[in-house]
């Protein structure tokens, strides 16, 4: 699909100057790639945090609004929706406990993606961050 028809697809570069990071999560650089799949998107992200290269596990967003098990995360389920063509919302829980929630919004001109994310990190610390990405 072209970017005109699919605002998310493509590669995005972190814009740290426009982002508002959680004190425990302050990357100095990064890229994120959304790839369209028949069911939704695969998102891959990597970057530099505390001088170390970090590569996150790819995330699958199946946009049917149904609760699904998260591969590699026993007991965690996720729901993903596309409320409008420029907004993706995802939420992950374990039992009744929220472990992650994110809203990804592409600007009307398609040049900026803003991710507002909150949850629990691998060290069991709560976090909330707003990250701005520019289309490459």
Position with higher pLDDT, 115 vs 54: 115
**Helices and strands: H and E segment counts in the chain:** 0, 11
pLDDT of residue 103: 98
Count of CB atoms situated within 10 Å of the CB of 90: 22
Across the chain, mean pLDDT equals 91
Superfamily of domain 10-135: Calycin beta-barrel core domain (2.40.128.20)
Position with higher pLDDT, 113 vs 122: 113
Count of CB atoms situated within 10 Å of the CB of 125: 12
pLDDT exceeds cutoff 80 at 1:
no
Position with higher pLDDT, 9 vs 57: 9
């Amino acid at each position: 699909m072209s970017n005109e028809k699919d605002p998310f697809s493509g590669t995005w570069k972190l814009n740290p100057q426009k982002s508002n990071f959680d004190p425990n999560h302050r990357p100095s650089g990064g890229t994120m790639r959304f790839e369209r799949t028949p069911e939704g998107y695969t998102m891959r992200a990597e970057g530099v945090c505390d001088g170390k290269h970090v590569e996150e596990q790819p995330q699958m967003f199946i946009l049917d609004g149904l609760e699904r098990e998260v591969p590699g995360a026993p007991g965690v389920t996720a729901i993903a929706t596309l409320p409008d063509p420029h907004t993706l919302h995802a939420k992950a829980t374990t039992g009744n406990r929220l472990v992650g929630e994110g809203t990804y919004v592409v600007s009307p001109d398609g040049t900026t993606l803003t991710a507002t994310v909150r949850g629990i990190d691998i060290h069991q610390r709560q976090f909330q961050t707003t990250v701005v990405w520019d289309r490459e």
